[in-house]
Structure 1
Amino acid sequence: MRINQGCFSFLPDLDDTQIAAQIGYCLRQHWAVAIEFTDDPHPRNTYWSMWGLPMFDLADAAGVMHELRACREANPEHYVRVNAFDSTKGWETVRMSFIVQRPTKEPGFRLIRQETSGRNLRYTLESYAVTAATEGARYAG
């Protein structure tokens, strides 16, 4: 199952040239770019680990691509995404976010239906990944 989150999520994965072009667009808009990674891509997990600090005042996508390569090397079986923040109005607003790396195997999620009192239904998403495993080891093997 392919995890679909952020911009371009229903398109084929972007190659590095296309990623650099999107980062270039973000920088031309004067947005700060940040790189994040996780091994828990649950849709409600909005707090991924940040790779370094957000990159403010960059003029060239090469700096972001350098950090992206370092993040990929350090986290080969993690999800990695690029976020672009607009701080021009005095607050941080995510203007663009897209996944740039996925683990080799994406087990996905299953929908669990629970019937409760009064014929009400509750739905929960549960990862097929071994969520009891320690962080960083969920997609190993």
Structure 2
Amino acid sequence: MSVMSSGDFRTTRTYETFSFLPPLSQDEIYDQIVYIINQGWTPALEHEAPEKASAHYWGMWKLPFFGMRNPDQVLAELDECRRAYPDHLIRMVGYDNYTQCKGHEFVVYRPRGL
């Protein structure tokens, strides 16, 4: 995580992969979920309030989606997480069980104004 330049926290803070790009479209998020699944990784969602996002680990939305191979199910979980935490940042994670680490992660939702 880095800060691009001095100024307002809400407009300058960047988070994870792709944070230098404009927000991803639904189709682009879908493509990244397909990529995670095609790598054999386990999709998962994490969320945190923006003011605490760099202070500690993010909370996990449910358990990682072990064995979930349908990107539409992952998107449904993302929508449910957004409804439950509309003021939190949400990121998608791809856990690689072979290397036992995150193979991919990126922010998929930012509250308005971030």
User: Normalising by the residue count of structure 2, what TM-score does the alignment of the two structures yield?
Assistant: 0.83
Flag the structure with higher helix content.
2
Partner of residue 80 from structure 1, selected from 70, 83, 90: 90
The answer for the alignment partner of 1:6 in structure 2 is 16
5+ long unaligned stretches in structure 1: 107-141
Offset, 1:104: 1.5
Figure out how many residues of one structure are paired with residues of the other and give that number: 102
Gaps of at least 5 residues in structure 2 are 1-10
Give the 5 Å matches for 1:1-141: 1-39=11-49, 40-42=52-54, 44-45=55-56, 47-89=57-99, 92-106=100-114
Amino acid at match of 2:65: M
In structure 2, what is the Cα distance between the partners aligned to 1:15 and 1:75? 20
For the 8 Å contact 1:37–1:48, the answer to whether it is kept is: yes
Q: Secondary structure at the match of 2:47?
A: strand
Q: Which runs of 4+ in 1 moved over 4 A?
A: none
* Counterpart code for 1:20: Y
Higher strand content, 1 or 2: 1
Q: Percent identity?
A: 34
The answer as to whether partners of 1:83 and 1:97 remain within 8 angstroms in 2 is yes
Largest Rg, 1 or 2: 1
- Residues 68-117 of structure 1 show CA distances to partners (whole Å, capped at 9, x for unaligned) of 0000011111100001110124xx211111001112223xxxxxxxxxxx
State the 1:58 CA deviation: 1.8
Report if aligned partners of 1:6, 1:96 keep a CA contact under 8 Å in 2.
no
Once residues 98 and 28 of structure 1 are traced to their aligned partners in structure 2, the CA distance between those partners, rounded to angstroms, is: 17
